[in-house]
């Protein structure tokens, strides 16, 4: 989906708002609302229409592509949608903020999977069971949409482009280092550099590389029942999925 940038609109009765909506990213929608002096008489309804119309257009196209019941439920959505009323007395900043919040709640957050994909590897079957029986369940429970190479229709002619676009825009990156594949290490490094939310795992007995072995890593076994494995991974996920970035950005 595209980025939508709304510039500042001034009205005679409302504050002016600038909204930056990044629907193709895994980050929360950002709303910046600032007051500004009125430079001339303008219709508040006209100003609000110009401000909110792009949001409503984006909302309609998004809702047409995804069932509401998967995110909010019809009644909750209908109640929130009726609040987005446009009148001569509408507060432009509040209306834009409420619309942005609704879009954020409806937008699926992608979780990009980095894992062993070589079917001839000795650990492939165990890794496949871990992702299908455990990771898929926990990631979906926490509101993310799993995305894994080879499981859907290709979006680009060159797979590497699709991989790094997926990492770049992911709301969560799930990295399993079983097999210690060089490509998985590179993709982990990219996700960390992008300050993505990252959770790392590996099969018990995996010899992790130096430096990476200092990062929090979930070590799983292939012998427990699926229910117990889901519980254990969910508990670990909830503790470690929102750690701060490796390097905190410096404030200017």
Counting DSSP H helices and E strands in the chain, the numbers are 8, 8
Same domain, 138 and 233: yes
For tokens 């455990």, what's the residue?
A: 134
Q: Please name which of 170, 180, 209, 191 lies closest in space to residue 118, comparing C-alpha atoms.
A: 180
Same domain, 49 and 141: no
The maximal CA–CA distance of the chain, rounded, in angstroms, is: 73
Q: How far is CA 218 from CA 95, 167, 173, 174, 238, in A?
A: 43, 20, 14, 11, 12
**Is position 202 within any domain?**
yes
Same domain, 42 and 98: yes
Percentage of the chain modeled with pLDDT above 90: 45
Residue 68's pLDDT is what?
A: 46
How does pLDDT run across 35-64, given as a tens digit for each residue?
333 343 334 434 444 444 455 544 444 444
**If you average pLDDT over every residue of the chain, what do you get?**
75
Given a cut of 70, whether residue 182 has pLDDT beyond it is yes
**Is position 58 within any domain?**
yes
Domain final residue pick, 106, 123, 158:
106
Domain that holds residue 49: 3-106
Torsion of CA 167, 171, 176, 181, to 10 degrees: 10
Which CATH number do you get for residue 172? 3.40.50.450
Same domain, 81 and 148: no
Domain final residue pick, 51, 83, 106:
106
Task: Give the burial class of 233: count Cβ atoms within 10 A of its Cβ; 0-12 exposed, 13-18 middle, 19 or more buried.
Answer: buried
Domain final residue pick, 67, 82, 106:
106
How does pLDDT run across 218-248, given as a tens digit for each residue?
999 999 899 999 999 999 999 999 999 888 8
Same domain, 79 and 145: no
Same domain, 129 and 233: yes
Torsion of CA 198, 202, 208, 209, to 10 degrees: -40
How does pLDDT run across 21-34, given as a tens digit for each residue?
333 334 433 333 33
β-strands 16-22, 3-6 pairing: antiparallel
Same domain, 61 and 172: no
Percentage of the chain modeled with pLDDT above 70: 68
How does pLDDT run across 151-163, given as a tens digit for each residue?
877 777 788 899 9
Distance separating alpha carbons of residues 88 and 17, to the nearest angstrom: 17
Same domain, 120 and 52: no
Given a cut of 70, whether residue 18 has pLDDT beyond it is no
**Is position 248 within any domain?**
no
How does pLDDT run across 96-133, given as a tens digit for each residue?
888 877 776 666 689 999 999 999 999 999 999 999 99
Same domain, 124 and 236: yes
**Is position 251 within any domain?**
no
């Amino acid at each position: 989906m595209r980025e939508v940038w709304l510039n500042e609109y001034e009205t005679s009765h409302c504050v002016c708002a600038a909204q930056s909506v990044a629907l193709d990213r895994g980050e929360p929608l950002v709303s910046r609302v600032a007051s500004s002096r009125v430079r001339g008489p303008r219709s508040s309804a006209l100003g609000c229409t110009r401000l909110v119309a792009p949001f409503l257009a984006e909302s309609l196209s998004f809702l047409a592509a995804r069932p509401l019941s998967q995110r909010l439920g019809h009644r909750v959505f209908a109640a929130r949608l009726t609040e987005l009323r446009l009148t001569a007395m509408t507060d432009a900043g509040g209306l834009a903020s409420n619309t942005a919040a609704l879009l954020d709640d409806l937008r699926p957050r992608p979780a990009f999977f980095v894992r062993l994909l070589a079917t001839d590897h000795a650990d492939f079957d165990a890794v496949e069971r871990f992702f299908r029986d455990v990771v898929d369940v926990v990631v979906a429970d926490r509101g993310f949409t799993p995305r894994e190479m080879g499981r859907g229709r290709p979006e680009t002619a060159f797979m590497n482009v699709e991989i790094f676009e997926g990492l770049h825009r992911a709301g969560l990156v799930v990295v399993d280092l079983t097999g210690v594949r060089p490509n998985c290490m590179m993709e982990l490094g990219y996700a960390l550099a992008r300050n993505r939310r990252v959770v790392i795992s590996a099969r018990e007995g995996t010899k992790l590389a130096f430096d990476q072995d200092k990062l929090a890593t979930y070590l799983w076994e292939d012998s427990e029942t699926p229910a117990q494995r889901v519980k254990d991974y969910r508990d670990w996920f909830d503790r470690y999925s929102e750690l701060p970035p490796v390097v905190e950005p410096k404030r200017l």
